[in-house]
Chains A and B, each alone.
Chain A
Amino acid sequence: MIISLQQVVPTPIREKILARPSDVWNAQVELGGTHWTKLRAPSGSGKTTLIHILWQLRKDYSGQVLYNQAPANSLSDDALSAMRQQQLSVVFQDLRLFGHLTARENIELKRRMTHPTLYPTSRVDEMAAELGVQHVLEQQAATCSYGEQQRIAIIRALMQPFELLLMDEPFSHLDKANTARAAALIAAECRQRQAGFILTDLDDDDHFSYTQQLHL
């Protein structure tokens, strides 16, 4: 999945964006493919806005976004759903779990959304064990710590097929050891799918062997 951005500028923060140099905003840039991309984005540079635009949650921007050459505004609701089930996956910064469902139910919901399902339900337990959140699987998501919720959101994102994974500060509440485990799992899953990812964060890091580094 290649996402092409053509002079994209989010309308609400237009002045702020144009006042500083960027590799992405108001530029011609191709993201995705098999690149493991790191987007270094200082606070206020529109990091989350970009992820939401790439996920088509926001449409308040000027310029064009194309998915494999297809303009975003030509996508029907069904096509968008299909893309979010088969080609793109996401870890939101604010995680977006269903608080009153258990951690397992949150993951299952995504697992069962694709037909046929990518993984058996046993894979949920394997991943949870790998990330050290097996003990919270039956707990309501809202009662889990933010770090636990972050790992649940990562497992949820890995339950579906994808060509490109979007991650918005996915490790912000994880300690070093847990970050390393999560990164290893994500790397393995991306390799298995021959997928690329776009990771945004405030600072430089060496969680992955990035093939592309951009400045937002």
Chain B
Amino acid sequence: MTPATSHSIQPLLRKLIRTGIGRFRFLMGTIGMGVAVFFILLAVQTFLNFNELLHGKRNENETADFLVINKEVTAARQTNKALSAFTTAEIDSLRQQPFAEKVGQLASSNFSVNVSSYSDAFPFYTDAYFESVPDEFIDVKSEAWKWAPGQRDLPVIIPSFFVDLYNTGMAMSQQNLPQLSMEALKLLPLRVAVKGQGREAEWVGHIVGASDRLNSILIPQSYMEWANQQFGYQQQKLATRIVLKTQDPSDPALVKYLADRSWRTNADKTRFSKVRTIVNWIVGIVGGIGVVMLLFGLLVFSLFIQLTIAASRPDIELLKTLGLSRQTLHRFLMQQFMPVHLVIMLAVLLALSGLQWALQSVLTGQGMHVAATINPYTVAASLLVLVLIWLTNRGTIRQYLRQ
């Protein structure tokens, strides 16, 4: 009585339980399921690609994360400057929005400012104003960016478009003005004359950098607070501009929030919002169709399992009579129906990988970067769908074997 090196019972079960019936329906079901899974995973991958385009490190545009916001000047506001200022309530409300990471106020000078040149070779004289903002909002990093009472040197940050305007416009139009590099500008001392409340004083201004982010002439906050006390016409501080740090300037919620209040910001930065809304819609529709198709696919496969079990009912009953356990039958049926789903899933992931690779090639040519391979979340989503299919099949088989 040597126990035989057993052959499996599976080939015999395969002969008895005819899984091959309704081959055409099975093929249609498989194709439908494939399209459904493709749509779902395509939606996931598209969403992730778009996110990468918006937030990916390689696509990051630092200025995009900071918005300077001001109120639109209307006829009513023209006559009352205070109406153009943000109230504390407005700032607090903005601060509580989900898209707002940080909110800072730009404080403006409350005294008159004259800036002129010490040099005869490069003469100029202008009225000016200053603004200040907490350091964390400033994109220029400089050792010289500090001021304490008694310090004669005053660091200044100018907007970079000033430099461009000067070099490309002003210097070209006036014969006696040279073009200046950023390095040269940093070396140029400025006479900063301040007047107010009957007092006057002078500082030596130094440009320490140019900001891409903030379109204003900035001085350190410590100087602003001190000078406003010394020379300020009015003690009440008005926040006419605020800086918003946000992860996503194209967030439709943010754009709507600003539009609802007629607040203005750099439209260039929020322009992406419309595209994004459209993409969100498309992704949602494709994903939605995918989910509906998946539900129908699951239904078709459930019916298919029912059909198979019903068609082989007498043989299944006899197998059970002879002592075959329901577990063995269950396992056998699962092994008949699950592999096709695995194949579908792999085929879809392969197709998506091809698409992604092609997309990456095309976008790279246009200076945009997405990953060359599909996102791990897409793979995770495919596993999730697979688990759903597995659970549905298991439930159907269990239910119909019991009957």
Check B327 against A78 for contact (C-beta < 8 Å).
yes
Check B12 against A81 for contact (C-beta < 8 Å).
no
Residue of A nearest to B5 (CB): A120
Residues of chain A with a CB closer than 8 A to B320's CB: 81
Q: Which B1-39 residues sit within 8 Å CB-CB of chain A? A: 1-4, 6-9, 12, 15-16
Contact flags A42-74 to B (C-beta < 8 A → 1, else 0) = 000000000000010100000000000000000
Contact flags A97-129 to B (C-beta < 8 A → 1, else 0) = 010110001001111110111111100000000
Residues of chain B with a CB closer than 8 A to A100's CB: 15
Q: A101-B12, A109-B9 are in contact. Are A117 and B323 (CB under 8 A)?
A: no
Q: A113-B9, A117-B3, A117-B6 are in contact. Are A101 and B16 (CB under 8 A)?
A: yes
Q: Which of B16, B315, B318, B323 contacts A81 (CB 8 A)?
A: B323
For the side of the interface on B, what is the size category?
20 to 34
Residues of chain B with a CB closer than 8 A to A81's CB: 320, 323-326
User: A181 near B: Cβ within 8 Å?
Assistant: no
Residues of chain B with a CB closer than 8 A to A112's CB: 6-9, 12
User: B322 near A: Cβ within 8 Å?
Assistant: yes
Tell me the bound Cα distance from A119 to B322 in angstroms: 17
User: A96 near B: Cβ within 8 Å?
Assistant: yes
Tell me the bound Cα distance from A96 to B318 in angstroms: 7
Check B327 against A121 for contact (C-beta < 8 Å).
no
Check A117 against B4 for contact (C-beta < 8 Å).
yes
Check A77 against B4 for contact (C-beta < 8 Å).
no
Tell me the smallest distance from the CB of A83 to a CB of chain B, in Å. 8
User: B126 near A: Cβ within 8 Å?
Assistant: no
Check A105 against B4 for contact (C-beta < 8 Å).
no
Q: A117-B3, A117-B6, A121-B4 are in contact. Are A84 and B322 (CB under 8 A)?
A: yes
Q: Which B300-323 residues sit within 8 Å CB-CB of chain A? A: 315, 318-323
Residues of chain B with a CB closer than 8 A to A139's CB: none
Q: Which of B6, B12, B325 contacts A78 (CB 8 A)?
A: B325
Residues of chain A with a CB closer than 8 A to B319's CB: 109
Tell me the bound Cα distance from A63 to B213 in angstroms: 91
Tell me the smallest distance from the CB of B214 to a CB of chain A, in Å. 74
Residues of chain A with a CB closer than 8 A to B323's CB: 81, 83-85, 110, 113, 160
Tell me the bound Cα distance from A111 to B7 in angstroms: 10
Tell me the smallest distance from the CB of A55 to a CB of chain B, in Å. 8
Residue of B nearest to A156 (CB): B322
Tell me the bound Cα distance from A109 to B7 in angstroms: 10
Tell me the smallest distance from the CB of B38 to a CB of chain A, in Å. 39
Please report B residues at the A interface, Cβ cutoff 8 Å: 1-4, 6-9, 12, 15-16, 315, 318-327
Check A96 against B6 for contact (C-beta < 8 Å).
no
Residue of A nearest to B315 (CB): A98
Residues of chain A with a CB closer than 8 A to B9's CB: 109, 112-113
Residues of chain A with a CB closer than 8 A to B325's CB: 77-78, 81-82, 85
Tell me the bound Cα distance from A81 to B9 in angstroms: 15
Please report A residues at the B interface, Cβ cutoff 8 Å: 55, 57, 77-78, 81-85, 96, 98, 100-101, 105, 108-113, 115-121, 160
17 new A-B contacts, CB < 8 A, other than A100-B15, A110-B323, A115-B6, are: A57-B321, A78-B326, A81-B320, A81-B325, A82-B325, A83-B323, A85-B323, A98-B16, A98-B315, A101-B12, A108-B12, A109-B9, A109-B319, A109-B322, A110-B322, A120-B4, A121-B7
Residue of A nearest to B7 (CB): A112
Residue of B nearest to A105 (CB): B12
Tell me the bound Cα distance from A112 to B324 in angstroms: 10
Check A109 against B326 for contact (C-beta < 8 Å).
no
Tell me the bound Cα distance from A105 to B8 in angstroms: 12
From B6, B315, B321, B323, residue with most partner A Cβ within 10 Å: B323
From B1, B2, B320, B322, residue with most partner A Cβ within 10 Å: B322
Check B324 against A105 for contact (C-beta < 8 Å).
no
Residues of chain B with a CB closer than 8 A to A83's CB: 323
Residues of chain A with a CB closer than 8 A to B8's CB: 112
From A105, A113, A115, residue with most partner B Cβ within 10 Å: A113
Residue of B nearest to A112 (CB): B9
Tell me the smallest distance from the CB of A93 to a CB of chain B, in Å. 14
Q: A57-B321, A77-B325, A81-B325 are in contact. Are A109 and B12 (CB under 8 A)?
A: yes
Residues of chain A with a CB closer than 8 A to B15's CB: 100-101, 105
Q: Which of B4, B315, B321 contacts A119 (CB 8 A)?
A: B4
Residues of chain B with a CB closer than 8 A to A117's CB: 3-4, 6
Residues of chain A with a CB closer than 8 A to B315's CB: 98
Residues of chain B with a CB closer than 8 A to A113's CB: 9, 322-324
Residue of A nearest to B318 (CB): A96
Residues of chain A with a CB closer than 8 A to B1's CB: 118-119
Top 3 closest pairs, chain A to chain B, by CB: A84-B323, A120-B4, A81-B325
Tell me the smallest distance from the CB of B161 to a CB of chain A, in Å. 79
Tell me the smallest distance from the CB of B188 to a CB of chain A, in Å. 91
Tell me the bound Cα distance from A83 to B323 in angstroms: 8
Q: A109-B12, A118-B3 are in contact. Are A98 and B318 (CB under 8 A)?
A: yes
Residues of chain B with a CB closer than 8 A to A116's CB: 3, 6
Tell me the bound Cα distance from A81 to B325 in angstroms: 5
Tell me the bound Cα distance from A120 to B4 in angstroms: 4
Residues of chain B with a CB closer than 8 A to A108's CB: 7, 12
Tell me the bound Cα distance from A156 to B8 in angstroms: 17
Tell me the bound Cα distance from A28 to B70 in angstroms: 99
